[in-house]
Structure 1
């Protein structure tokens, strides 16, 4: 099994990067010990801001094609969304915009677990909600989602310490269905 995991943030100290790495390690330890997990860093896919003029002049950016191919090569994805002003980060939006010009079904009908970590109490409710709302248009097969709010109280520097968050992340990971087989 090939699992693609990334934080939809370009912050090098992103709490969403920490959360997606934690979730991927739990996936391997509890559900799929032989899974190959590939982590992507949005900083490796930095491109000019999408515009139709750029696309007409230069075509689809090669980094957008590379990211799209990574999604296509995965069996499932774990994505943790940072929430900036109630929406996805500009870095992720730009990558998504470029990929949508290859195919509107950016997620290529792959099973996805959505996560979010925020310092505030709403636990990424807006960003998770918008991703859920737009999922059918972009070919995202959401299996489950969970937001971790009040990150400073939830994370002790090594692991999640709130039992309800650990249980919900395990439930979300267990809901992943890969090639017709449920993992839980």
Structure 2
């Protein structure tokens, strides 16, 4: 049985992007969804020396396998200084060294959120380009600005226009899987 893989590009145990991913997954019906908490997946900073000396970790191989066996991937990226976090970029570096085609032809719903008014749009734009470079098909993007004002852990996205936009991007992603 195929599944949708979902995770945030953050390794923080208090990640608001992980909250957005969990909420998004709660809206999906009729599909198996595997939610991965990246705070349980530490990786050393990529270096060729480390790769030669230690190779690729089991957890990295498992993530690559999960991506490749999934029917689609939902990712929400966090932002540090207008770019994806070092953790997320490092994860992509490791995955692309393990297999340059780790996400080729995979459908991806890409999201971001932050506490600021731009909603991590800089990280979203860079991540869109990175995924496309590695051969993924990004079916749509969604940015949630001002997380604390626009999201409630019980109610979800509070702003009607943002909620409708999010639902539209999710529906387009789900439709692309069939």
Provide the TM-score with structure 2 as the length reference.
Answer: 0.92
- Structure 2 equivalent of residue 122 of structure 1: 118
- Structure 1 equivalent of residue 84 of structure 2: 88
> How is 1:151-166 mapped onto 2 (pairs within 5 angstroms)?
151-158=147-154, 159-166=156-163
Query: Are 1:173 and 2:178 matched, yes or no?
Result: no
Contact 2:115-2:148 at 8 Å conserved across structures: yes
> How is 1:95-114 mapped onto 2 (pairs within 5 angstroms)?
95-114=91-110
> How is 1:1-184 mapped onto 2 (pairs within 5 angstroms)?
1-26=2-27, 28=28, 33-158=29-154, 159-176=156-173, 177-178=176-177, 181=178
- Output one character per residue of 1:83-110: Cα deviation in whole Å (capped at 9) or x when no partner: 1111112222222111111222332321
After superposition, the CA RMSD in angstroms is 1.3
The structural deviation recorded for 1:137 is: 1.6
Aligned length: 174
The structural deviation recorded for 1:43 is: 2.4
In structure 1, distance between residues paired with 2:130 and 2:41: 22
- Output one character per residue of 1:26-82: Cα deviation in whole Å (capped at 9) or x when no partner: 1x2xxxx22111011112221221110111122222222111111011101111111
In structure 2, distance between residues paired with 1:149 and 1:136: 24
Provide the TM-score with structure 1 as the length reference.
Answer: 0.89
In structure 2, distance between residues paired with 1:156 and 1:47: 31
More displaced 10-residue stretch of structure 1: 164-173 or 133-142: 133-142
Find runs of 4+ consecutive structure 1 residues off by over 6 angstroms. Answer: none
In structure 2, distance between residues paired with 1:62 and 1:14: 24
In structure 2, distance between residues paired with 1:145 and 1:6: 15
Contact 1:4-1:38 at 8 Å conserved across structures: yes
In structure 2, distance between residues paired with 1:152 and 1:86: 19
In structure 2, distance between residues paired with 1:153 and 1:20: 17
The structural deviation recorded for 1:135 is: 2.7
In structure 1, distance between residues paired with 2:102 and 2:126: 15
